[in-house]
Amino acid sequence: TITDERASNPAAGGADRPIGYGRIQRKEDPRFIRGKGNYIDDIVLPGMLHSAILRAPVAHATLVSIDTTRALAHPGVVAVITGKDLLGLKLAWAPTLSADVQAVLVTDKVRFQGQEVAFVVANDRYAARDALELIDVEYDVLPPVIDARKALDPGAPVIRTDIEGKTDNHIFDWEAGDAAETDAVFASADVVISQEIVYPRVHPAPMETCGAVADYEPIEGHLTLYETTQAPHAHRTLFAIVAGIPEHKIRIVSPDIGGGFGNKVGIYPGYILAVVGSIVTGKPVKWVEDRSENLMSTSFARDYIMQGEIAATKDGTILALRTNVLADHGAFNATAQPTKYPAGFFHIFTGSYDLKAAHCKVTGVYTNKAPGGVAYACSFRVTEAVYLVERLVDILARKLEMDPAELRIKNFIQPEQFPYKNKTGWEYDSGNYEPAMRLSMQIAGYEELRREQKEKRERGELMGIGVSFFTETVGAGPRKHMDIVGLGMADGAELRVHPTGKAVVRLSVQSQGQGHETTFAQIVAEELGIPPEDIDVVHGDTDQTPFGLGTYGSRSTPVSGAAVALVARKVRDKARFIAAAMLETRPEDLEWEKGRWFVKGDPSIGKTIAEISMGAHGTVELPEGIDGNLDAEVTYDPPNLTFPFGAYICVVDIDPGTGHVKVRRFIAVDDCGTRINPMIIEGQVHGGLTDGVGMALMEIIQFDEDGNNLGGSFMDYLIPTAMEVPNWETGFTVTPSPHHPIGAKGVGESATVGSPPAVVNAVVDALAPFGVVHMDMPCTPGRVWEAMQGRPRPP
Ligand code: MCN
Ligand code: CUM
């Protein structure tokens, strides 16, 4: 484990290397800070029409009738499309990413508030919006299922009456680990603690909402779809399957994206409706949702009710973990995760600890709420897993009267145990946990903080210190274990070096703000010795990029980053043959130094990549089998996921009069292996920590008993601003991934995964004098105050 920034990449040449990895400014920023980004709503095509969606006002109702006459007569309205129209086109229902179907427009029954009922296409957005009010719909309201705990009650209203023979709201049961072995360990343990822990429904709420511009050209039968998507290639294949348009006649363009956070993985009815609108009207159609539509109908996150238990010895050796989870998936099972894993990667709930046994069981249910579930920097539900284990370990520490940091350290998987096979089947690639934990304690001044807390407690002041440690699993595939609707999780990369030595690299992943245009250029720069500014990164257009599964689960660096390193190495290897021909020597007599091949023993004789590229495209006679270019392509199928980790410490002060929680300090030590651009990594961590404070203290999508969404605007769904978060204190260690070509692990979701338990542990720690052992998120002033009165609000 290395903690010095520059020494962190010894292979890269140390402190003063001119190009490659390091803290360089983002290449994309000049365009963004000048307002020159090109987002969906910036796209204007000749003759383009606008659209709006009529949404259901209630959560559960039979659709009795729908009359569009008045809307059609409204000036400027070009078309009004209903579920009945879609039935004729066989497009009323679309397959979801989880082997279920979802209504594109309601045909039979409304299943959540905000569901899509009708689609208006008009000359401008105002006419489309106004016409919504002229559509006459009659609903017959049904009792809804809102509380997931009641979804499986006998007699509960059946939501999915569209599924033949369905008589309940059950979706799946899934388990991992060994139940009998785990029960046996529990039966003989000295100490068992048990707690129900709810991770409430939250929403990724990206700054840019979802939208699309569909342009169907009827003569060639060619569809161009500009779309807010994190996975353009996967979407193209799915559109080909759903809409029946041949795949080679579909071009998906994902322009600049104003934040995705998992919200832009799925295929929403709005995208499909824009396509239908364009086919029906013969004109390009734009659809852009507003904030409430985004919060009420697009992919939510979490909604896990977890019963968790730890078995341990008296002296604090953790022996086993078990959990039973009720997963609220909403009205359609549309979660976006590898097919094999209906609960995502939740079964990494064993965390960072060396256990004797573990077992988890997850039951998925339908409720009358919006579908989704895998979003908001979740790493396929590692968020829920880490929150569960890190809360349980804190509860155990309290019970055993042990320091929570020391209890964690005592139970860590040890460095020599890697690669470590956990009890639910994961193989952790590499890790060195204690130095990261110790570093975070050192930055925090942990002992001093505990002393301060003790003094304050004596004076009746409420100060809390929360510790969390997480292990993530990011970078899905390998393809043999992981697919989405049959598409294996691998990624392509294509690299072309132009005659003058400038290059273009084409990716199958899609940035939503993570800085790919910079970091992927840095990977090529590091491998070929071309400055990053001479390398263009192309992504987000299926006509211009190789096939691959896209950006989510922090897989871009683990998978696409590996593909890019390998494609650059392929070019480098080819360059060796061309250089040998140019220098009239043998390839094996050449040696590589960053940027050039030179003659072993005589470094003055050599050729730079630019010279070699000119040679490849020039008049030099090339060896047999070597084409006249310096191009290559690669498809990378990762052998395993990568397992980044981190140690977080949060310090809070609580106002005893109001219950208001102030996050005073937050220390985050992250280990994502080799660090390509430390500045971008810090940006990712800062963003994720802000997410974590938001979820822990403010954010929740709640429903009343009728199924009305109470978090449908930013007046009600609170997200943190600079006012609510402290100055982040970050540190890092470097434990490279042994199987990744450059040793990098993903980092894009680490802080969102790791920070909520640190904040909640701090709040609960501050409330220890009141006997509070657990509190569900969000720890709003009202809830904290009630907990202080000994009346914790029922979850
Ligand atoms: N990076 C690096 N060195 C590493 C690891 C990563 O320099 N060892 C850099 C990468 O090269 C990349 C960035 O950090 O520029 C994030 O990389 P990675 O961890 O591979 O994650 P992805 O690029 O695949 O991004 C996806 C991840 C996810 S799943 C969510 S959700 C999320 C997140 O990224 N959504 C985001 N961070 C986000 N940040 C912004 N601004 N916007 C979003 O929508
Ligand atoms: Cu789960 S949110 Mo990200 O994987 O796109």
Ligand nearest to the CA of 689: 1
Average pLDDT, stretch 19-31? 94
Q: Is the pLDDT of residue 764 over 90?
A: yes
Please check the confidence at residue 16 and state whether its pLDDT lies above 70.
no
pLDDT at 771: 94
For ligand 1, the distance from its centroid to the CA atom of residue 19, given in whole angstroms, is 21
Nearest ligand to the CA of 230 is 2
Mean pLDDT of 533-541: 97
Q: Give the mean pLDDT of 163-185.
A: 98
CA 693 – CA 665 distance, rounded (Å) = 11
Q: Is the pLDDT of residue 754 over 90?
A: yes
- Averaged over 49-74, what is the pLDDT? 98
Per-residue pLDDT at 14: 45
Say if strands 170-177 and 101-103 run parallel, antiparallel, or are unpaired.
unpaired
Give dist(CA 792, CA 161) in Å, integer: 38
The amino acid occupying position 499 is P
As a whole number, the mean pLDDT across the chain is 96
Please check whether residue 688 is in contact with residue 750, taking contact to mean a CB–CB distance below 8 angstroms: yes
As a residue count, the chain comes to 795
Distance 509 CA to ligand 2 centre (A): 13
CA 92/CA 90 separation, integer angstroms = 6
CA dist., res. 773 & res. 607, Å (int):
67
Of 210, 235, 379, the one to substitute when testing ligand 2's pocket (max ligand atoms within 8 A of C-beta) is 379
Task: Name which residue sits closest to atom 21 of ligand 1, judged by CA.
Answer: 554
pLDDT at 795 over 80: no
Q: Provide the H-helix boundaries in 82-187.
A: 83-89, 125-132, 179-187
On whether the CB atoms of residues 726 and 659 are closer than 8 A, the answer is no
- So what's the pLDDT on residue 321? 98
Q: How confident is the model at residue 546 (pLDDT cuts 50, 70, 90)?
A: very high
- Verify whether ligand 2 is closer than 6 Å to residue 529 (CB atom): no
DSSP state of 25: P
Closest CA to 617 of 655, 643, 578: 578
Q: Is 10 exposed, middle or buried (0-12, 13-18, 19+ CB in 10 A)?
A: exposed
Is 341's C-beta closer than 6 angstroms to any atom of ligand 2? Answer: no
Q: Which H or E run contains 428?
A: strand 427-428
578: tokens are 């061309």
d(CA 505, CA 561): 11
Ligand sitting nearest the alpha carbon of 299: 2
Please tell me the distance from the alpha carbon of residue 70 to that of residue 84, in angstroms, as a whole number.
17
Sequence-ordered strand ranges (E) for 498-571? 503-507, 535-538
What are the pLDDT digits (tens) for 443-494?
Answer: 999 999 999 999 999 999 999 999 999 999 999 999 999 999 999 999 999 9
Is the Cβ atom of 262 under 6 angstroms away from ligand 2? yes
Q: How far is the CA of 552 from the centre of ligand 1 (A)?
A: 9
Tell the burial category of 90 from Cβ atoms under 10 Å away from its Cβ (0-12, 13-18, 19+): exposed
Please give the Cα distance from 252 to 586 (Å, whole number): 45
Rg (CA), the chain: 27
Alpha carbon distance 757, 666 (integer Å):
12
Q: Rounded distance, CA 714 to CA 282, Å?
A: 36
Strand-by-strand arrangement of the 211-217 sheet: 77-82, 116-122, 49-55, 285-288, 211-217, 222-227, 250-253
Does residue 12 have a pLDDT over 70? no
Nearest ligand to the C-alpha of residue 565? 1
Smallest CA-to-CA distance from 789 within 659, 655, 653 is with 659
Kindly report the number of other CB atoms within 10 A of residue 717's CB atom. 23
How many other C-beta atoms are found inside a 10 Å radius of the C-beta of residue 362?
Answer: 24
Separation between Cα atoms, residue 487 and residue 490, nearest integer Å: 9
Strand partners, 139: 63
Query: What tokens were used for 647?
Result: 């140690």
Structure tokens at 218: 């009827």
pLDDT band at 793 (very low <50, low <70, confident <90, very high): low
Nearest-atom number in ligand 1 for the CA of 747 is 19
Q: Report the nearest atom of ligand 2 relative to the CA of 555.
A: 4
How many C-beta atoms lie closer than 10 Å to residue 147's C-beta? 14
Query: Is the separation of the CB atoms in 481 and 337 below 8 Å?
Result: no
Amino acid code (one letter) for 153: D
- Which of ligand 1's atoms lies nearest the C-alpha of 264? 44
Residue 382 CA, ligand 2 centroid: distance in Å: 10
d(CA 391, CA 464): 14
Chain segment 697-722, per-residue pLDDT in tens: 999 999 999 999 999 999 999 999 99
Q: pLDDT grade, residue 246 (50/70/90)?
A: very high
553 lines ligand 1 (CB under 6 A): yes
What is the band of 415 on the pLDDT scale with cuts at 50, 70, 90? very high
Which residues pair with residue 323 across a beta bridge? 308, 360
Instruction: Give the model's pLDDT for residue 671.
Output: 98
Contacts for 70 with CB less than 8 Å, ≥ 6 apart: 134, 135, 136
User: In this structure, are residues 503 and 530 in contact, taking their beta carbons and an 8 Å threshold?
Assistant: yes
Which ligand 1 atom is at minimum distance from the Cα of 744?
8
Distance 229 CA to ligand 1 centre (A): 15
Q: Does ligand 1 lie within 6 Å of residue 475's CB atom?
A: no
How far apart are alpha carbons 655 and 785 in whole angstroms? 9
Distance from residue 332's CA to the centre of ligand 2 (Å): 19
Q: Is the pLDDT of residue 17 over 70?
A: no
Residue nearest (by alpha carbon) to ligand 1 atom 33:
748
Distance 259 CA to ligand 2 centre (A): 11
- State whether the beta carbon of 555 lies less than 6 angstroms from ligand 1: yes
What ligand has the least distance to the C-alpha of 511? 1
Residues in contact with 22: Cβ distance below 8 Å, sequence separation at least 6, in sequence order = 522, 677, 678
Query: In angstroms, what CA-CA distances link 108 with 111, 313, 687?
Result: 10, 56, 42
The atom of ligand 1 lying closest to the CA of 376 is 31
Res 71 pLDDT > 50:
yes
Peptide bond before 638: cis, by omega within 30 degrees of 0?
no
Q: Is 376 in the pocket of ligand 2 (CB under 6 A)?
A: yes
- Which residue in 663, 647, 646, 659 sits closest to 464, CA to CA? 663
Distances (CA, A) of 265 to 235, 260, 642, 705: 9, 8, 21, 30
Atom of ligand 2 nearest to the CA of 553: 4
Checking if the pLDDT of 5 tops 70, the result is: no
Nearest atom (ligand 2) to Cα of 748:
3
Judged by its nearest atom, the ligand closest to the C-alpha of residue 301 is: 2
pLDDT at 792 over 70: no
Q: How far apart are CA 716 and CA 174, in angstroms?
A: 34
CA angle 210, 212, 214 (to 5 degrees): 165
**Which positions ≥6 away from 53 have C-beta within 8 Å?**
116, 117, 118, 119, 120, 132, 269, 270, 273, 287, 289, 293
DSSP per-residue letters across 714-736: TTTS----GGGS---EEEE-B--
pLDDT, mean of residues 160-170: 98
Atom of ligand 2 nearest to the CA of 383: 1
- Give the span between the Cα atoms of 102 and 561, in whole angstroms: 34
CA 647 to chain CA mean position, Å: 20
For the chain, percent of residues with pLDDT exceeding 70: 97
Query: Hey, which of 684, 733, 755 would you mutate to test ligand 1's pocket, going by the most ligand atoms within 8 Å of its Cβ?
Result: 684
What pLDDT is stored for residue 790 in this prediction? Answer: 84
Q: Which atom of ligand 2 is nearest to the CA of 554?
A: 4
Q: What is the pLDDT of residue 6?
A: 43
13 confidence band (pLDDT: 50, 70, 90): very low
Of 98, 345, 378, 482, best ligand 2 pocket probe by most atoms within 8 Å of the beta carbon: 378
Residue where the block lists tokens 């949702």: 289
Contacts of 398 (CB under 8 A, 6+ apart): 768, 773
**Would you say the C-alpha torsion 705, 708, 713, 719 has a positive or negative sign?**
positive
Task: Quote the CA–CA distance of 714 and 694 in Å, as a whole number.
Answer: 13
Q: What whole-number percentage of the chain has pLDDT above 90?
A: 96
* Structure confidence at residue 9 as a pLDDT band (50, 70, 90): very low
Distance 552 CA to ligand 2 centre (A): 4
Cα–Cα distance between 779 and 147 in angstroms, integer?
20
Distance from Cα 227 to the centre of ligand 1, integer Å: 20
33 CA to centre of ligand 1 in angstroms: 20
Dihedral angle over CA of 236, 241, 247, 249, nearest 10: -90
Which pLDDT belongs to residue 763? Answer: 98
Q: Could you tell me if the CB of 411 is within 6 A of ligand 1?
A: no
- Name the residue of 537, 557, 686 whose CB sits within 8 Å of the most ligand 1 atoms, as the mutation to test its pocket: 557
Q: How many CB atoms lie within 10 A of CB 340?
A: 9
pLDDT of 791 strictly over 90 = no
Question: Which of the listed residues 514, 554, 555, 749 should we mutate to test ligand 1's pocket, taking the one with most ligand atoms within 8 A of CB?
Answer: 514
Q: Is 378 in the pocket of ligand 2 (CB under 6 A)?
A: yes
